[in-house]
Amino acid sequence: MSAAEARTIVLFRHAKADWPQVTDHERPLAERGRKDAAEAGRRLLDTGVAVDLALCSTATRTRETWKLAVHEFPHRPKTIYEERIYEASPGELIALLNETPDDVGNLLLVGHNPGVHGLAEILAGSAEPDAGERMDRRGFPAAAFAVLSFEGPWKSLEPRVATLRDYWAPSD
> What residues are designated binding site for substrate?
61
Binding residues: 61
Q: Which residues, in sequence order, are bridge partners of residue 3?
A: none
Whole-angstrom Cα distance, residue 15 to residue 71?
15
DSSP string, 60-107: HHHHHHHHHHHTTSSSPPEEEE-GGGTT--HHHHHHHHTTS-TT--EE
- Answer whether 131's CB lies under 8 Å from 93's CB: no
Whole-angstrom Cα distance, residue 93 to residue 116?
8
